[in-house]
Structure 1
Amino acid sequence: MKHSFLVAMPAFVVLTACLPYNPVESAAPPLSIPESFTAGDEVIAEGDSHIGVEPWWQAFGDPTLNALEERALGDSFQLRAGWARLSQARAVAEQAGAPRWPTVGIQLSAGRQRQVFGSAGVQEFSSFSASVPVSYEIDLFNRIGATATAADLDARATRDDVEALAISISAEVAEAYFNLVEIRQRTTLLESQLASNDIFAELTSLRFQTGQASALDVYQQQATVQGTRARIALLDAEVRVAENRLRAIVGVAPGGTITAGPQELPDLGELPSPGLPSTLLMRRPDVRSAQRRVSAADYRVGAAIADRFPSLRLQGSIGFGAPNLTQLFADVVWSLIGSISQSIMDGGRRAAEVDRNKAVVQERLEQFGQVVLTALIEVDNSITGERAQLANVEELERQYETIDSTLTEARNRYRMGLTDYLNVLTALVAQQNAQMSLLAAKRRILSTRIQLHRALGGTWTQRLAEPEPREVRDLNDDSETDG
């Protein structure tokens, strides 16, 4: 026995020392990260530790938008499904970690046996037993531990996925909300244009009656009025579609109440600081998720390598046994068995599993790099896009002023008989189109700002709490459904 121990101990030490694989805890992205964000040759901003701490939409100062965002984060079907996936991932992680602990059970048995002993006749026996079996695998090479850690990292990555989904949903809510506000503002603008066109039509008709305008002038202005009315006729449907888009995100059925909110698009505040690219990686939950999945895959490589080494299992039981119930607890019965198993030939299955997991690591690493690159590009595009949109709005405002002056001059010249009505009508249509273009440009700036907030991520999502699960109800249940 002593010699066996002396032989086994060095072998165990050698095998333990043959664990060359150390999984990566925090993978570095496979691409170079710029030191700062730039627009052309200009450095945009230095670091700011407060970026994304508070929900970004609060910067607009719109109580209606705030209420819709909070409702969406609580009632969105997409987000609630994400929370359910997180619960599944946590359960899987708990299952993966269960083998770290002994398995304990209880066994109760009772039996009656009849046996023939030839000339001795027939004898009958009774047997009763109660025992507690215990089994435990000693994790010599961290196979179980690595598997459990990988599952835990997957669960944490799923939490990051939920947070990334929350950011996306918050951006979708804002986009849908401001789209609705823009349609309402466009309605107000078209109604104002219609009123102005009606006045022009009346004035043109009066001038025609006094011989100062031609029938062509009247027809042209009437056509302008009719065109404006035709555009207004479509707006009710646009409002309904926009409201339903918002309802779909928030989780409200068609016809459900959607607060009206303001009738005009808000003014933009200052451009939020994007901070440093290096801090962006920690603010973006999708980046964190991709990074964790690299580590999870790497831990599974370690588990696959450990699976090629021997496994040590202990099995035992303690209990009682007797031929009758009255003597059941008289004698204690116990057993303890230790076993070591090692695969000698498996056709290369375990080696192939190691190779497969290493390939998964490479796949996850490349995906991680793509996510990081996408995050950096999204921020860069949003900053560049907002600056371009601001310049576009400034030019459109100057254009509108010029067209407005042109309309005034054309009207004055028309009154004096120095030009025909076509010049007035052309300037009027140009002015109204410029108003619409300016409104659309302001909406595009808002969209760019929303996308910038989305690209910057934020830590506010880490404060999100899981909702209570919904009750599964029978379709024939007449009780009121949730929501």
Structure 2
Amino acid sequence: MKEVNAPIEEPVPFTNSGRTEINEKWWTFFEDPILNNLIDTALTKNLEIAGSWEQFKASIASVKQQRSFLFPDIQAEIRSGISRPQPDFAGGENTQIGVSAAYEIDLWGRIRSGIEAEEFRAQATYFDYQAAAMTISAETAINWYRLVSARKELQLIEEQIETNKNILKLIRARYTSGQIRAVDILRQEQLLESTINQKLSFETDVALIQNQLAVLLGTPPQNLAKIPVGNFPELPPLPETGLPLELTRRRPDLKRAYSTVLAADRDMAVAIRSKYPRIALDLSAQARSNDFNSLFQDWAYTLAGNIIAPLIYGGRLNAEVDRTEAIKNQRLYEYGQTVLIAFREVEDALIQELKQKERITVLEKQIDLAAKTNKQLKLSFLNGLTDYLDVLLSLGQEQQLQRDYINAQQELLEIRVRLYRALAGSFETAKNAEVEDIEYLED
């Protein structure tokens, strides 16, 4: 069968590329042992992946079922009966045993086309399983670094609460000496309460992300063991994106869409060949007797052949050809759309990473400037040269920038995970050894 190309324009190379060859187990690039352990657990215990594997095993059984039509159907039959009074049963048989076989000659390849269609569908479910494993590994990585980010923000907000409490003590002391106004105390108390409220939000985030990780790891949230505290890793070098068409041969979701096109093509072949004549053979052997002692003395054999040629079916067969052809074209366009989305995901991640790095650089400068500004305003305030409102606004801005910086680091890692997911191919899991009859899954 000739190769089927996606109905899209010839793609040019991606806008950016690194030099590091991407590994199938892309998460190892982060050199994060906690992440490695989490993903290994998810790939082993996640229920969605387990369900996808069972779906694949069911498709293997369907292939075996379809292959059985290449062989004769053989049946054995035994009958026995007694009639009274015996004279009324003279000359009849009350015991018989027989064997029969029926076989259709696959003269036009209709049966083999049906087998190929099931094999391509089995391929699609296998790639579904691989895509599910890729999705779960990416979601685990993203949620892990979201947890790291939420914990960092929680730690930062606790430090900011202590800072705001200390400043509140300072201005209260200065209020007693008449150096500041009562409204400045109220403003500082408002900032303190705002940071306390944010702490509650981050505590909620930590708990909810841990619950999400528990589901990904295949365990009830209330049973989840404490996850160790981690940190953001250094961002690995940009991976090599390769040529766009290489992506279609690597990503399991694209391979799955391609397999559905091939399956639809074979379904169409079955519909076309169903219009041709069919040749079938029937063979039977029977032994009959009025008693068991003489049952196997006489045998009767029958060999019959028949040809069934469709003549008038009211256009039903032609309509089936038209239907399967339309489905084939539908699957082809769906494949093309899936390819386009895959290309977009790579381009999106490349652009987002570039801009996110620039954003982090700007945030670092903002934090540095905010710290210097805040320091100068505090000195001016202590010397009575500036109003406390300026100090308050500067303090709030600096604390918000610090939280934004943690979020920006986490978003950069999440973008890289999405890039790995968009570029990476499938990877072997322990379950692959459970099914032996998958030789036709190889490209």
Residues 25/105 of structure 1: CA separation in 2 closer, same or farther (3 Å cut): farther
Q: Which residue of 2 aligns with 1:32?
A: 9
Query: 1:71 and 2:41 equivalent?
Result: yes
Query: 1:300 and 2:300 equivalent?
Result: no
Q: Which residue of 1 aligns with 2:63?
A: 93
Counterparts of 1:268-347 in structure 2, within 5 Å, are 268-347=235-314
Moved more, 373-382 or 242-251: 242-251
Query: 1:159 and 2:136 equivalent?
Result: no
Q: Which residue of 2 aligns with 1:475?
A: none
Q: Is the Cα–Cα contact under 8 Å of residues 89 and 158 in structure 1 kept in the other structure?
A: yes
Deviations 1:158-211 (A, max 9, x none): 100111111111111112221121111111000111111122122222222333
Q: Is the Cα–Cα contact under 8 Å of residues 142 and 417 in structure 2 kept in the other structure?
A: yes
Residues 467/82 of structure 1: CA separation in 2 closer, same or farther (3 Å cut): farther
Moved more, 121-130 or 376-385: 121-130
Moved more, 138-147 or 332-341: 332-341
Query: 1:106 and 2:76 equivalent?
Result: yes
3-state SS of 1:147 partner? helix
Q: Is the Cα–Cα contact under 8 Å of residues 45 and 276 in structure 1 kept in the other structure?
A: no
Query: 1:62 and 2:32 equivalent?
Result: yes
Runs of 5+ consecutive residues of structure 2 not aligned to the other structure: 436-443
How far apart are 1:259 and its partner, in Å? 3.6
Query: 1:178 and 2:145 equivalent?
Result: yes
Using structure 2 for the length normalisation, give the TM-score.
Answer: 0.92
Deviations 1:195-239 (A, max 9, x none): 111221222222223333333333322222222122213333222
Matches of 1:45 and 1:438, distance apart in 2: 25
Q: Which residue of 2 aligns with 1:260?
A: 227
Deviations 1:51-110 (A, max 9, x none): 243x11122222222222122212222212211211222222222221111111111122
**Identical-residue share of aligned pairs (%):** 31
3-state SS of 1:135 partner? strand
Matches of 1:394 and 1:143, distance apart in 2: 64
Residues 361/239 of structure 1: CA separation in 2 closer, same or farther (3 Å cut): same
Give the RMSD, CA atoms, in angstroms: 2.2
Paired residues, number: 435
Q: Which amino acid aligns with 1:364?
A: R
Q: Which amino acid aligns with 1:133?
A: S
Matches of 2:403 and 2:18, distance apart in 1: 34
Query: 1:436 and 2:403 equivalent?
Result: yes
How far apart are 1:142 and its partner, in Å? 0.6
3-state SS of 1:336 partner? strand
Moved more, 255-264 or 298-307: 255-264
Query: 1:84 and 2:61 equivalent?
Result: no
Matches of 2:282 and 2:93, distance apart in 1: 27
Residues 339/147 of structure 1: CA separation in 2 closer, same or farther (3 Å cut): same
Q: Is the Cα–Cα contact under 8 Å of residues 18 and 238 in structure 2 kept in the other structure?
A: no
Using structure 1 for the length normalisation, give the TM-score.
Answer: 0.85
Runs of 5+ consecutive residues of structure 1 not aligned to the other structure: 1-23, 470-483
